[in-house]
């Protein structure tokens, strides 16, 4: 940890308009390039304009990635079409080999944290394709330092520093569920970007409005984030430095707040929790089904497992209808035996 690191001091010099702005308004401005605005669409009939469902997911459910550039005070927003997310913690030791010992003497040096995150910039139309390439340009330009004049020469004033926010997975320690969509300038994780990879997906094609102008329909972005620890970590005696006292059933309970955010879990032992109260992916309770208000038994868990299996089958079946798989489903009618075999062994129609 760098005791002199104070990213907030760097940020405080910037305009506070974004810091105090309504995050939903900002998200709507930055993530709705693929939609036809109802106010300007040629056909004002309800439903006649394109409404991108991924925009609503990003705004209402917080499925977005924000990268805040500390030098310029400019944030860049991307829809979270995640393709990879890995959080690496590397503990480094100075190892000294000593004569006569099988194992080296290991002296602790430091613990590094590196996050690898990859996502797709997907364009539903040429307007969004233009916006995506401009966002990529902004992010690439932010990879370079800030300079200042010193006589006739330029000297480096500051290296590129960022705050990145993606839900409660990339965020400042201690984030609660109520702060899930807080802006990165407040709730982001300080870092440097050690690696950046820009990769247009050639198979998805390009928009080419003019000769010699190409806008990729899909761009794959890979980032390597080297995290800057702004607060002390580790333990004082037996107590962790990264805990927060919360009230659970009238009692003070210490919960760990590093590295991921969220609220503490409530024990179902003797409580009134129901794991089916908020089932994922649109799985809902069937009409007439009795809901237990005590601990779930084996039969209730079996029903839940059957429901999840049914939902997975529905998702796999819907893959046949996706554009990239329509051309692969031709043998469903010509060779139904093979299709059923594929479904049984692979879980999908190739």
Shared-domain flag, residues 320 and 215: no
- Would you state the pLDDT for residue 56? 83
pLDDT mean over 19-42: 69
- Would you state the pLDDT for residue 193? 95
245 found inside a domain: no
Using the predicted structure, report yes or no on whether residue 12 has a pLDDT greater than 80: no
Predicted confidence (pLDDT) per residue in 301-331, tens digit: 666 666 666 656 555 555 444 444 444 444 5
Number of residues in the chain: 350
234 found inside a domain: no
Residue where a domain terminates, one of 180, 198, 227: 227
Contact criterion met (CB below 8 Å) for 134 and 141: no
173 found inside a domain: yes
Residue where a domain terminates, one of 227, 246, 263: 227
Q: Which domain holds residue 297?
A: 283-350
Using the predicted structure, report yes or no on whether residue 339 has a pLDDT greater than 60: no
Using the predicted structure, report yes or no on whether residue 209 has a pLDDT greater than 90: yes
Shared-domain flag, residues 106 and 14: yes
32 found inside a domain: yes
Shared-domain flag, residues 218 and 303: no
Predicted confidence band of residue 91 (pLDDT cuts 50, 70, 90): very high
- Would you state the pLDDT for residue 161? 94
Which range, 139-143, 277-281, 303-307, is most confident?
Answer: 139-143
CA distance 161 to 191: 6
- Helices 53-61, 23-31: axis angle to 10 degrees equals 160
pLDDT mean over 163-177: 89
How many separate domains does the chain show?
2
96 found inside a domain: yes
Range with the poorest average pLDDT among 18-32, 101-115, 265-279: 265-279
Range with the poorest average pLDDT among 19-28, 94-103, 183-192: 19-28
Find the DSSP H helices in the chain: 7-11, 17-20, 23-31, 53-61, 126-141, 184-187, 298-318, 323-326, 331-334, 336-346
Shared-domain flag, residues 62 and 153: yes
- Would you state the pLDDT for residue 154? 84
Shared-domain flag, residues 103 and 171: yes
Predicted confidence band of residue 119 (pLDDT cuts 50, 70, 90): very high
Shared-domain flag, residues 12 and 151: yes
71 found inside a domain: yes
- Summary mean pLDDT of the chain: 75
Shared-domain flag, residues 59 and 185: yes
Predicted confidence band of residue 26 (pLDDT cuts 50, 70, 90): confident
Closest to 200 measured CA to CA, from 219, 223, 222, 221: 219
91 found inside a domain: yes
275 found inside a domain: no
β-strands 81-96, 105-122: how paired? antiparallel
CA distance 268 to 7: 41
- Would you state the pLDDT for residue 49? 58
Say which residues have a Cβ less than 8 Å from residue 279's Cβ, sequence separation at least 6: 285, 304, 307
Contact criterion met (CB below 8 Å) for 236 and 215: no
């Amino acid at each position: 940890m760098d005791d002199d690191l104070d990213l907030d001091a760097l940020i405080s010099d910037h305009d506070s308009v974004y810091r105090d702005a309504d995050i939903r308004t900002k998200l709507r401005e930055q993530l709705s390039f693929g939609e036809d605005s109802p106010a300007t669409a040629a056909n004002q009939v309800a439903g006649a304009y394109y409404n991108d469902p991924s925009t609503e997911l990003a705004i209402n459910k917080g499925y977005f990635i924000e990268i805040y550039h500390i030098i310029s005070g400019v944030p860049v927003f991307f829809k979270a079409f995640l393709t990879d997310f890995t959080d690496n913690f590397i503990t480094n030791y100075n190892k000294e080999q000593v004569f006569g010992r099988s194992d080296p003497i290991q002296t602790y040096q430091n613990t590094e944290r590196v996050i690898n995150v990859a996502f797709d910039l997907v364009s539903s139309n040429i307007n969004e394709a233009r916006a995506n390439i401009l966002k990529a340009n902004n992010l690439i330009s932010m990879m370079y330092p800030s300079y200042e004049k010193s006589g006739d020469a330029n000297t480096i004033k500051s290296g590129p520093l960022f705050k990145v926010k993606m839900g409660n997975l990339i965020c400042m320690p201690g984030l609660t569920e109520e702060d899930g969509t807080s802006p990165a300038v407040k709730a982001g994780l300080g870092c440097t970007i050690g690696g950046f990879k820009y990769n247009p997906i050639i198979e998805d094609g390009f928009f080419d409005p003019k000769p010699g102008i190409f806008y990729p329909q899909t761009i794959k972005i890979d980032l390597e984030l080297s995290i800057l620890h702004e607060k002390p970590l580790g333990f004082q005696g037996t107590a962790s430095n990264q805990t927060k006292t919360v009230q659970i059933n009238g009692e003070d309970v210490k919960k760990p707040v590093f590295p991921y955010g969220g609220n503490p879990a409530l024990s179902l032992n003797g409580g009134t929790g129901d794991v089916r109260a908020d089932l994922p992916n649109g799985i809902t309770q069937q009409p007439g089904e009795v809901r237990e208000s005590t601990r779930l038994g084996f039969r209730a868990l079996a029903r839940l497992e059957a429901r999840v299996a049914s939902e997975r089958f529905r998702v796999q079946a819907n893959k046949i209808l996706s554009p990239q798989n329509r051309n692969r489903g031709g043998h469903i009618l010509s060779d139904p035996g093979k299709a059923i075999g594929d479904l049984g062994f692979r879980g999908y129609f190739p």
